[in-house]
Amino acid sequence: MFERVGIKDVTAAKNGKEAVDLHRINGQSFDLILMDKDMPIMNGIQATKELRSTGISSKIIGVSSSSREESNVQEFVEAGLDDYYMKPLTEEMLREILDKIKP
């Protein structure tokens, strides 16, 4: 799906801690981070807070199967998301996200 919308360089993290470590330990930076709320080891809420506390300026888009009205989604947004989308993430949604972050 990523290639079909023009994204060629994708790095995937298996859990929230790995996502944080990619930035904190490996020094990697990203234009866009798609953050799942329900990840093992460190959830998306904790990972987003950790990344924002380091001063990361990447766009962080949250994704989850939870509706936006649920309280834990509001906590996720307040952790430092730039936007939130409900799963399943479609090509159309991904194109919308990319259009929003284009300079």
Rounded Cα distance, 64 and 84, in Å: 8
Give the C-alpha separation, 81 to 26, whole Å: 22
Burial 82-96 (b: 16+ CB within 10 A, else e): bebbeeeeeeebbee
In tens, the pLDDT along 11-56 reads 999 999 999 999 988 888 899 999 999 999 999 999 999 999 999 9
pLDDT tens digit string along 36-47? Answer: 999 999 999 999
**How many angstroms separate the CA atoms of 60 and 65, rounded?**
17
Determine the pLDDT at residue 87: 92
Q: Peptide bond before 88: cis, by omega within 30 degrees of 0? A: yes
Which domains does the chain possess?
2-94 (3.40.50.2300)
Q: What angle do CA 68, 74, 80 make, to 5 degrees?
A: 115
Quote the pTM value.
0.89
